Structure 1
Amino acid sequence: MRSSLRLLLLVAGLSLSPALWAEPQNPECIAPAAPGGGFDLACRLAQSGLKETGLLQQPLAISYMPGGVGAVAYNQIVTQRPAEEGTLVAFSTGSLLNIAQGKFGRFDEQAVRWLAVIGTSYGALAVRSDSPYRNLQDLVNDLKHNPDRVIIGTSGTIGGQDWLQLALVARAAGLNPRRLRYVALEGGGEIATALQGGHIQIGSTDISDSIPRVQSGQIRILAVFAPHRLREEPAMADIPTAREQGFDIVWPVLRGFYMGPQVSEAQYQWWKTTFDHLLASEDFAQLRDQRELFPLSLTGPELTQHIQEAVTRYRQMAREFDLIH
């Protein structure tokens, strides 16, 4: 498999500038949160995929830069590390939502070079395995009668992705999302830890990075915000959707990477082509499945257009919840 992929790269590159095919030195993937969440998952998937397929000869290092659910990393890449040809930064739908609300400071979706989306997940609501909540309606009933007693853990603050997916449930139930109690945490790993410790009663999170803890019996998923049951994944087949519980809410979560705004066109194209080959690989498809992610492949201009359209939608949604004016 590795030799065939290298051959494909060689043939594809014959008519292109040799500079385009120079592998960057010291490649790094930045997960802009604490270890254990969706950003970490994306970096680890890229790391293992590029290694297993032989598309990257050096190991892809992973580093962590928590802060503002991506805001610290976004600002540092744009202002301090804009031309680093080997640096990738993980992003998610939540990153785009924060950009739409101006939470990444003065920088908008035009500030970086969007590289690739390597898969998608869906939002989810998690509880501890011994929680009294058996379904989404149990939670809604308690939120109606005891909104101050239910503590909800989210990545980021009001207006973030995790906040918004629960706010959509609250709105559908006739509740004011701002009356609920939230605790801002840094990524899915911290949410799971807080659930296990009993510090929060609900974790608004992501299905993919929750599944290992579901399988270990530490947490349970009340609802996944997918369009239908995820029966193609055995570990998710029995998890009910919000839609089938009477709440018509779907929230896909992109997993991908961007680069600094001053990365050379040649090096950007090297990475784009590398990810194009990675995403077409059967080996990578198996690795993605093992991490409970679903197929979605977007790179280069196609991804950039998708990002611009998504941020426009999220700005409108943010206005509906009075998050921006």
Structure 2
Amino acid sequence: MKNWFSRAVLTAATTLALTANAFAFEPEATECIAPAAAGGGWDFTCRQVGKVLQDLKLIKGTMQVTNLAGGGGGVAYSEVVAKRNDSNDLIVAASSSTSTRLAQGAYPGNTADQVRWIASIGADYGIIAVAKGSPINTLPELMEKIKADPKSVSIAGGSAVGGWDHLKVLIAAKKAGVEDVRKIKYVAFDGGGEAVTQLLAGSVQAFTGDASEAKGFVDSGDIKVIAVLAPERMSGDFAQFPTAREQGIDAIGANWRGFYAPGGMNDEAYNYWVDAVGKVYESPEWKQIMEQSGLAPLDKRGPDFDAFVKESITEIQTISREIGLVK
């Protein structure tokens, strides 16, 4: 009996100690780096999440937002790895652009393993669309035309060759069984709006972009969305459009938004930030921001988010290698 009692006391004490350690970290001077100038997606991510963290009293005072532009996020990434590696109060905004550049070696000397991936806070899912008068009505129809004669189909997007808009359509084509995705004609424009304008002018046959940038053209009835690159149908205005998966093409194209932390951040701080960003994601305040900004659900945290990012990098590397962007 005495031994049993002693073991019970020891177990209780251990549990209390573990619980205390789990909440031992309390952030002080919190900071979020937005790896671009003010006004962009990374800046939005830092400022909006920082505000909700403050509103929910998960941090003390206001979170400092530092805009550190350059190299498509590479300047900030190198700064964190080389100079801020042991900071426990620092988080950095990231997105699919981050994983794309890591996959293509655009951050020289840096890899995904040098930081700790915290969590996602939503996603802007990709779409593939045609003009309202196009005879093409489904994604398989578009892919069959590409297979039959790749030169007959030009697809416009708002990113450079090898950028995320380009890669989204290549992911779909690869899943559809297009043998040589290098033959796909992708035409790069300076932003999704210009790409859609060229679609409506008849200069190209299809458009690849994000749901948020296409919403205005959907509302006006100028374009016909033939596939949403989401795991399941979206809500709201896009609920009427089928996913690629529904049409037998298992392609997901999520422009995710989330955070990474310095690689040397200790476990207590890392667990704190994973939990805190998770609480932001679950809050009514964030749900409202998601609805207002067109973000769709994507809830990945801690190890799950780490695996998600690295799987994305591997997929992008494979496709980038096929089109000659990565050796």
What's the TM-score once normalised by structure 2's chain length? Answer: 0.69
Aligned CA-pair RMSD = 4.3
1:3-22 matched pairs, under 5 angstroms: 15-16=20-21, 20-22=25-27
Q: CA deviation at 1:258?
A: 0.8
Residue 9 of structure 2: aligned partner: none
Q: CA deviation at 1:86?
A: 4.8
Judged with a 3 Å threshold, the aligned counterparts in structure 2 of structure 1 residues 142 and 254 are, in CA distance, closer, same or farther, namely: same
Task: Tell me the amino acid that sits aligned with residue 91 of structure 1.
Answer: A
Q: CA deviation at 1:30?
A: 0.7
Within the candidate set 153, 156, 159, 1:155 is matched to: 159
Within the candidate set 111, 114, 120, 2:114 is matched to: 111
Within the candidate set 28, 46, 49, 1:46 is matched to: 49
Deviation string 1:243-278 (CA, Å, 9 cap, x unpaired) is: 445644333443211123344555444433322332
Residue 223 of structure 1: aligned partner: 227
Size of the aligned set, in residue pairs, is 304
Q: Distance in 1 between matches of 2:159 and 2:257?
A: 15
Q: CA deviation at 1:111?
A: 1.2
Deviation string 1:272-312 (CA, Å, 9 cap, x unpaired) is: 33223323434333433443334333333443344445544
- In structure 2, stretches of 5+ residues that fail to align are 1-16
Judged with a 3 Å threshold, the aligned counterparts in structure 2 of structure 1 residues 261 and 237 are, in CA distance, closer, same or farther, namely: same
Within the candidate set 86, 91, 101, 1:88 is matched to: 91
Judged with a 3 Å threshold, the aligned counterparts in structure 2 of structure 1 residues 252 and 132 are, in CA distance, closer, same or farther, namely: same
Q: CA deviation at 1:63?
A: 3.3
Do the aligned residues in 2 keep the contact of 1:163 with 1:204 (CA within 8 Å)? yes
Judged with a 3 Å threshold, the aligned counterparts in structure 2 of structure 1 residues 204 and 277 are, in CA distance, closer, same or farther, namely: same
Q: Greater CA deviation, 164-173 or 129-138?
A: 129-138
1:303-322 matched pairs, under 5 angstroms: 303-316=305-318, 318=320
Do the aligned residues in 2 keep the contact of 1:148 with 1:180 (CA within 8 Å)? no
Do the aligned residues in 2 keep the contact of 1:124 with 1:207 (CA within 8 Å)? yes
Q: Distance in 2 between matches of 1:78 and 1:153?
A: 32
Q: CA deviation at 1:132?
A: 4.7
Within the candidate set 294, 299, 306, 1:297 is matched to: 299
Do the aligned residues in 2 keep the contact of 1:36 with 1:209 (CA within 8 Å)? no
Judged with a 3 Å threshold, the aligned counterparts in structure 2 of structure 1 residues 176 and 292 are, in CA distance, closer, same or farther, namely: same
Larger helix fraction of residues: 2
Do the aligned residues in 1 keep the contact of 2:170 with 2:319 (CA within 8 Å)? no
Do the aligned residues in 2 keep the contact of 1:195 with 1:219 (CA within 8 Å)? no
Judged with a 3 Å threshold, the aligned counterparts in structure 2 of structure 1 residues 108 and 79 are, in CA distance, closer, same or farther, namely: same
1:167-246 matched pairs, under 5 angstroms: 167-171=170-174, 172=176, 174=178, 176-182=180-186, 191-195=191-195, 198=198, 201=204, 202-208=206-212, 210-211=214-215, 214-215=218-219, 221-230=225-234, 233-245=235-247
1:113-128 matched pairs, under 5 angstroms: 113-126=116-129
Q: Distance in 1 between matches of 2:248 and 2:305?
A: 33
What's the TM-score once normalised by structure 1's chain length? Answer: 0.70
Judged with a 3 Å threshold, the aligned counterparts in structure 2 of structure 1 residues 268 and 244 are, in CA distance, closer, same or farther, namely: closer
**Higher Cα radius of gyration:** 2
Q: Distance in 2 between matches of 1:310 and 1:132?
A: 32
Q: Distance in 2 between matches of 1:147 and 1:154?
A: 20
In percent, how many aligned pairs have the same letter?
Answer: 30
Residue 24 of structure 1: aligned partner: 29
Q: Distance in 1 between matches of 2:160 and 2:58?
A: 35
